[in-house]
Every structure is written in C-alpha cells, then in structure tokens.
Amino acid sequence: MTSRPAIRHIVFFSAKEKSDIPAIVAGLKMLADIPHSQFFEVRENIQNDALSGEVDVIVYAEFESVEKLTAYKADPIYQESIRVVRPLRDMRIAADF
C-alpha cells in the first residue's frame, strides 16, 4: 500500500477571457516556489468533457499537514499570485481533503 498525502488541495479557475489563460497559468506557477508542498502542479484543462467547459486551469498540491497548507497560504508568494491572477479569473473553486 502506498502512502497517501494528509491533505490534497485542488483549485479550479475559469478565465474571464480565454486569451488570459497563459497569464493565469504563469501567475499560478509562481506558487511552485513556496516550499511547503510535497507535490505541486498547475495544468490547463484539456476541455475533453462535453458536459462541462467551465474550468480552464487547475492547481493540484499535496501537503503533509493542515499546518503546511496554512503556511503555504501565508507565504508572500501566495499573495503575489493572487494579485496577478484575481483580475484575470472569473470563477475560483477550492477543495481541501
């Protein structure tokens, strides 16, 4: 049996303008410089689901603990990413489990 991360953090974003997706991806990739995650990636949605096209970009990260996730969100890089991405995005849905 493989070890599972304590916390999985998934965030879905939609762009106000499809032309802003590369800038959203770049803004979210800044988060990879925050050292608290065990695994981190940002991906553009391949839009392969015929019933759902709302999500443009996904952030997926794994953390050892809630404390590590909290420290990740408290990092100044996190605030800088928000500053860059918020004006470009429409929807943001986050889930931690």
What does DSSP assign to residue 6? S
In this prediction, residue 20 carries a pLDDT of: 98
* Greater model confidence, 83 or 1: 83
Whether residue 91 contacts residue 9, with contact meaning beta carbons closer than 8 Å, is answered with: no
Which residue is associated with the tokens 């304590």? 6
CA angle 36, 95, 75 (to 5 degrees): 30
Measured CA to CA, the distance from residue 67 to residue 2 in angstroms comes to 22
In tens, the pLDDT along 10-59 reads 999 999 999 999 999 999 999 999 999 999 999 999 988 878 789 999 99
Q: How far is CA 93 from CA 1, 54, 90, in A?
A: 31, 11, 10
The pLDDT value given to residue 48: 81
CATH class entry, domain 7-46+53-96: alpha beta
Domain extents in the chain? 7-46+53-96
Query: According to the model, what pLDDT value does residue 31 have?
Result: 98
pLDDT digits (tens, 9 = 90+) for 57-74: 999 999 999 999 999 999
* 69: three-class secondary structure by DSSP: helix
Provide the pLDDT for residue 2.
61
